[in-house]
Amino acid sequence: MRYTPLSAATYREHRSRFRQAMEKGGLAVFHSNDIMPTSADGTMPFHQAADIFHLSGIDQEETVLLLFPDAFDPKDREILFVRETSPSIAIWEGAKLTQQQATAQSGIATVLWTSSYEATLQRLLPQAKSIYLNSNEHLRQGNEVETREERKNKELRAKYPLYEVKRSAPIMHRIRSRKTAEEIAQIQNAVNITAKAFQRVLQFVKPGVKEYAIEAEITHEFLRNGSRGHAYTPIIASGYNACVLHYITNDDTCKDGDVILMDFGCEYGGYASDLSRSIPVNGKFSPRQRDVYNAVLNVQKEATKLLLPGVFLGDYHKQVGELMEKELIGLGLLDKKEVATQDPEKPLYKKYFMHGTSHFLGIDVHDVGLWHEPITEGMVFTVEPGIYIPEENLGIRIENNIVVTKDGQDDLFKNIPREVEEIEALMAKSRKKTLA
């Protein structure tokens, strides 16, 4: 295995949290993702479904998890189903987990082959009062491809139409948003690798390099440090490209005098990191670039202080908007009088800062969480304000990953440079080495 997994104790705790939220007599089922096709006989790399990974740590296709706390036989209260291996599979794909290995990794004592799932479910359902089915209820989800979980849910509903169905997603959103110490440590591992990639980039960027060459440097550093790769498609956007929020073609040339906005993060052990930094291609910010950069940095620092237990994310984002208004007025981009009379439903700062400031971070980059419940200790967020001025070919975004603590915050990227002077000094140092 390329990465060090979390302990079985952490997965036991995750399942315990889910069971505590279930109603009496409930039986919950979770499925893995499919291996997705490309064309001909090609397939995409397997990517495990986040919820079953969170509850079991099993990173393998054709996996099913069944949780039935009130089952008559204690052996039936947690059952993990994994794909049975064979000599042919071992030769062509590599051996799959044995039942003993699956138990050691997940902490689940009863492990059966996936081929026995249907019969086991049929045997246990007469004891159940309801079935908990899982689904993707992320606020931004819009996937047109049917997942294995959706397909299996349809089959179960059709076969057992008289059972009451309950939703697992709200429970998963609540328990996944509050990280254990081991989860935070795994995110920190991903952050540390991402930090190494940023340090590498500071030594590499100069006028004339291609954006995709910078992406290659980042990817190299990820893989050589045990990451399986990017947690999301990286944005390497120089000059005007930085004003395109989801610019991912990364095929332009970095020009002298431009600022390059980089948004990237590695995945490690199933957990994501998410970093944004904006650096001058030639190693030196112009006075205007410096002013805009520092305005964004001021907002980021003050916004971080607002992430406290008990705060609602909706209120937090309104406060960040007010911080940004002041900075944009100071930059001459907004008029103070116009801001005072603006439509509160259409704030003027949105012209230059049109996206949100923070999102949950964890197994998914845009991790799940509940906006109608207050922030609690152990949640992990990004803080990523930005200012985008297309007419100046300038886009600045600065992003760190923050753990909410009992009394404040822990910045997982606290050792990564973000001050103008730090960035310029590090880039100048790397240029001296090159010349030497």
Q: Using one digit for the tens of pLDDT, what is the confidence trace for 145-192?
A: 899 999 999 999 999 999 999 999 999 999 999 999 999 999 999 999
Mean pLDDT of 219-242: 97
Instruction: Please say if 359 is a catalytic residue.
Output: yes
Instruction: Please say if 274 is a catalytic residue.
Output: yes
Nearest to 133 by CA among 164, 104, 111, 95: 164
Instruction: Please say if 252 is a catalytic residue.
Output: no
Instruction: Exactly one of 274, 325, 327, 364 is catalytic; name it.
Output: 274
Instruction: Exactly one of 144, 246, 343, 391 is catalytic; name it.
Output: 246
In the predicted structure, residue 433 carries a pLDDT above the cut 70: no
Binned at pLDDT 50, 70 and 90, residue 434 comes out as: low
For residues 148 and 153, give the distance between their C-alpha atoms in angstroms, rounded to a whole number. 8
Mean pLDDT of 379-385: 98
Instruction: Exactly one of 12, 47, 228, 366 is catalytic; name it.
Output: 366
Looking at residue 143, its pLDDT comes to 78
Instruction: Exactly one of 215, 263, 267, 364 is catalytic; name it.
Output: 263
Q: Using one digit for the tens of pLDDT, what is the confidence trace for 283-339?
A: 999 999 999 999 999 999 999 999 999 999 999 999 999 999 999 999 999 999 999
Q: How many angstroms separate the Cα of 65 from the Cα of each of 81, 117, 148?
A: 6, 9, 13
Instruction: Exactly one of 41, 144, 343, 407 is catalytic; name it.
Output: 41
Instruction: Please say if 183 is a catalytic residue.
Output: no
How large is the greatest C-alpha to C-alpha distance in the chain, in angstroms? 77
Instruction: Please say if 421 is a catalytic residue.
Output: no
Instruction: Please say if 397 is a catalytic residue.
Output: yes
Instruction: Exactly one of 355, 373, 410, 422 is catalytic; name it.
Output: 355
For residues 175 and 179, give the distance between their C-alpha atoms in angstroms, rounded to a whole number. 8
- Please report the domains of the chain, with CATH numbers, ordered by start residue: 8-177 (3.40.350.10), 181-435 (3.90.230.10)
Q: Using one digit for the tens of pLDDT, what is the confidence trace for 273-289?
A: 999 999 999 999 999 99
Nearest to 374 by CA among 304, 306, 303, 310: 310
Nearest to 364 by CA among 86, 47, 22, 93: 47
In the predicted structure, residue 436 carries a pLDDT above the cut 80: no
Mean pLDDT of 208-237: 98
In the predicted structure, residue 93 carries a pLDDT above the cut 60: yes
Nearest to 105 by CA among 64, 67, 56, 61: 56
Which residue type sits at 186? Q
Instruction: Please say if 258 is a catalytic residue.
Output: no
Nearest to 71 by CA among 125, 113, 10: 125
> Could you tell me which residue, 128 or 92, shows the higher pLDDT?
128
Q: Using one digit for the tens of pLDDT, what is the confidence trace for 131-153?
A: 999 998 888 887 788 999 999 99
In the predicted structure, residue 79 carries a pLDDT above the cut 80: yes
In the predicted structure, residue 260 carries a pLDDT above the cut 90: yes
Looking at residue 284, its pLDDT comes to 97
Looking at residue 356, its pLDDT comes to 96
Instruction: Please say if 355 is a catalytic residue.
Output: yes
